Amino acid sequence: MSRVILLPGEKCRAVRRLCGWAWCVVVLLWAAGLSYGQDTSGRQEAGRVSAEATQRMPLITVTERRPISAATETRVRENDFAVRPHNTASEMLNNLPGFVAGQHAGGGKAMQYFLRGFDNDHGTDVAISVDGIPVNMVSHAHGQGYADLNFLIPEVVESIDYRKGPYFADSGNFANSGSVNFITKDDTVENSLRAVGGSFNTMRYVGILSPRLGPVQSLIANEVYFTDGPSKHGEHFVKYNFFGKFTLRPNPRSKLSLWTSLYTGDWDASGQIPLREVNSGRLDRFGSLDPSEGGRSDRENVNLIYTATPSLEKSWSVQLYFSRYRLRMFSNFTFFSGDPVRGDGIEQLDTRVLFGGRAQYRRMWTLGGMLLESSLGFETRNDNADVGLFRQQRRQRFSTTQKVEVWENAFSGYTQHELFLREWLRFIVGLRGDFFVFDVDGRSRPGATDAPQLQGDATDGIVSPKASLIVSPFTDPASLWHQTDLFLNFGMGYHSNDARDAVQPGGSGLARSSGAEIGARTNLYNRIELAASLWWLDLGSELVFVGDEGTTEQRGPTRRWGVDAEVRAEVLPWLLLDYDLTYADPRFRVTGEAIPLAPTLLMNGGLTAYPAENLSAALRVRFLDDRAANEDRSVIARGYSLIDLLLRYRWRNIELSFDVLNLADTDWRETQFATESCVRRELGRDSRCPRRGGGPGILDTNVVSGYGINVRGGLTVFF
């Protein structure tokens, strides 16, 4: 990696902004050139083979599912969620193998994500996207990689591409533990109106329409959602979502889609409360020490994608996207530790626009009698954010800790080559390069003398090689193990650090990761699918910007290794079984200490039954083991097991659903943190909580309790 400190100034910032827009223009011109460069003979050839292509795989040249290149690479389709919790995007994530998402401050805040020995916080080391639009926010007010999926309506999701590890050239920032890309539908066979109601004053209404507008496919969706949650003070979480997508296929070998989405959400939060107060009986486990926590968030997106396959040997695609985002969030993590009079409440503000694009070209070649598939891609992302951290009491701001404008530009290119050496042997090699420009400008604030000015520019770049070997050793179709693949993967990746750290002396813009995996996947009798892998992942530096304090924290290099296993089986013609397990050993490389809150053992699975026509039932189990909450393992974050029961029945154009989540009414902690804090009664009574404030606070586990038994019923009318 190389790093250059640039002199601050408006000229530098103007150049960076111009470069961001210019890159998008270049992508468009490049796409136009490819389109214009297709001569008449090419079109005639496409027309000649279109009938053959349509018979064998209609429109598959645009949407074909390529062979997987890692044992843990999967695509989860809509039908897989039919009898699993999927009222929110977070519920969908909890159904992915080895993935856990938990809420810790009201429903409107981004979830906390756990995957492969990573406590990803809100997304630091897992890349999340929707049709290629990045969900993770760089240099965010609440933490690097913040990924809020509240704008996604689950009913518009067609499938989820889910990959673990940094082995894929087309995955860049944050894709260390893995990546998740939600793929939306072009249309739906049936229009529908859905109403769901249940525990905690929860109500959800969804309307899906798919009118045919001449040659244009369309999908229109609206969602209204409200819940008080299990907290004593009520979350009062209300959100509104709109999604509109229009798709045109000019010919069987090309596709143009445009969609937009609008989201707004408001919520209150009970916050993370000290376990000592709950255990003593002074505070209910669903109570609050500062019920003024909560916030408001909005996001609007526009996404344009054009894909073309001029011949069976080549294809290309171009994407442009634009998002506008706002967050204002109020939190109080330490209560009265720092300020015994007004409390330690903070306000985090993030207002930004982000825009970018990508272009990809794929070509099939013949090399020495062997088939070679080559891909070349370019990407850019540009964020302009106003980010602030303030002190507040009951949502009334009284001082400024930090307020800056951030410009962050990323330019990326990658290439990947897949060589089919034999019928049973494939080799993939890839290379990715990323270049970042960071620009931070501390705003002048009249009368605000309590916050230091932060200003500077920096650049950083990184090159990430990738390689995979796939062996299918049993080529005899009569063999039981015919559908068996062995995988060997290696890759380097990274995550970007907050721009506010990157521009400071000694700061770093990018943190390197390196990982490898050996695995296998097989399908027996077309009824049993098994997969397993052994993996390791090193992260060179967990340098984290602490958004709650406006400072940075160096956590040093880490190492994780572990095992993944998956089972899918048709036990009986009407009974299906699935089971997923992930074990990880996460620790700091130098000291051997634990990585706080990093998960060690995750399991989920269940039985799905279809006992009668149009009737289905599922019993699901999710398990997260105990794990260390701090480095010396003196504080333990307690794990949990949850059981869910789900029923579906359809009669003609009416579908009824009945779900019981947390069927056993387990007392569990959805999220928890080792935190030093002081409640009001402890001021002056404990040396760690002096009456004047400023003490270290009492180390304890601050928790957000998970919901109890949660019953909900739904009615869907199709038309």
619-630 pLDDT, tens digit each: 999 999 999 999
Query: CB–CB of 228/234 below 8 Å?
Result: yes
Q: 385-398: per-residue pLDDT in tens?
A: 999 999 999 999 99
Helix (H) or strand (E) holding 118: strand 118-119
| Domain with 624 in it | 74-718
Q: Would 714 be classed as within a structural domain? A: yes
User: How many of the other CB atoms lie within 10 Å of CB of 412?
Assistant: 21
pLDDT digits (tens, 9 = 90+) for 169-212: 999 999 999 999 999 999 999 999 999 999 999 999 999 999 98
The residue behind tokens 């996604």 is 152
**Taking the chain, what is the end-to-end CA distance rounded to the nearest angstrom?**
57
Whichever domain contains 162, its CATH number is 2.40.170.20
Ordered strands of the 698-705 beta sheet = 273-274, 698-705, 669-677
692 contacts: CB under 8 Å, gap ≥ 6: 340
Residue 207 within a domain: yes
Band of pLDDT at residue 105, cut at 50, 70 and 90: confident
Short-list 631, 624, 629, CA closest to 589: 631
Q: Give Cα separations from 171 to 538, 574, 630 (angstroms).
A: 17, 38, 31
Token pair recorded at residue 665? 């009414």
Domains identified in the chain, total number: 1
Please, which pLDDT band fits residue 444 given cuts at 50, 70 and 90? low
> Residue 21 pLDDT more than 50?
no
> Given this model, what pLDDT does residue 546 score?
54
Give the closest residue to 408 by CA, choosing from 495, 323, 502.
502
Q: What is the DSSP string of 542-600?
A: -EEEETTTTEEEE---EEEEEEEEEEEEEEETTEEEEEEEEEEEEEETTT-PBPTT---
Rounded to whole angstroms, how far apart are CA atoms 560 and 154?
32
The torsion angle over the Cα atoms of residues 684, 688, 690 and 696, rounded to 10 degrees, is -150
Residue 606: inside a domain? yes
Could you tell me the pLDDT band of residue 50, with boundaries at 50, 70 and 90? very low
Residue 48 within a domain: no
Q: Pairing between strand 99-102 and 126-130?
A: unpaired
User: DSSP 3-state assignment of 360?
Assistant: strand
Q: How far apart are CA 512 and CA 460, in angstroms?
A: 12
pLDDT tens, residue by residue, 281-319: 999 999 999 999 999 999 999 999 999 999 989 999 999
**pTM for this entry:** 0.89
Quick one: average pLDDT of 271-281? Answer: 95
What are the CA-CA distances from residue 546 to residues 189, 312, 577 (Å)? 47, 50, 42
Exposure class string for 160-180: b at 16+ Cβ within 10 A, else e? bebbbbbbbbbbbbbbbbbbb
Residue 257: pLDDT over 70: yes
DSSP string over 194-225: EEEEETTTEEEEEEEE---BTTEEEEEEEEEE
Three-state secondary structure readout of 603-655: EEEEEEEEEECCEEEEEEEEEECCEECCCCCCCEECCEEEEEEEEEEEECCEE
Q: Between 555 and 351, name the one with better pLDDT.
A: 351
Does residue 160 form part of some domain?
yes
Which two three-digit tokens encode residue 647?
A: 């029923």
3-class secondary-structure state, position 288:
coil
Whether 589 is in a domain gets the answer: yes
Whether 38 is covered by a domain: the verdict is no
Confirm whether 263 is domain-assigned.
yes
Residue 501: phi, psi to the nearest 5?
-85, -40
- Tell me the residue ranges of DSSP E strands in 368-482: 370-393, 396-422, 425-442, 455-471
Assess contact for 251 and 257: CB atoms under 8 A. no
pLDDT tens column, 85-101: 888 998 999 989 999 99
Nearest to 217 by CA among 188, 183, 254: 188
Other CB atoms within 10 Å distance of the CB of residue 452: 9
Q: What does DSSP assign to residue 23?
A: H
Q: H or E stretch including 501? A: helix 499-502
Rounded-to-integer distance, Cα 645 and Cα 659, Å: 6
pLDDT over 70 (residue 60): no
What is the model's pLDDT at position 544? 53
DSSP state of 335: B
| Percent of the chain surpassing pLDDT 90 | 80
Q: What is the pLDDT of residue 270?
A: 87
Q: Give residue-wise pLDDT tens across range 642-685.
A: 999 999 999 999 999 999 999 999 999 999 999 999 999 999 99
Q: Please say whether the beta carbons of 222 and 156 come within 8 A.
A: no
**pLDDT the model gives residue 443:** 64
Other CB atoms within 10 A of residue 684 CB: 12
Sole residue written with tokens 């052994």: 534
Helix (H) or strand (E) holding 475: none
Tens digit of each residue's pLDDT (9 = 90 or more) over 456-477: 999 999 999 999 999 999 999 9
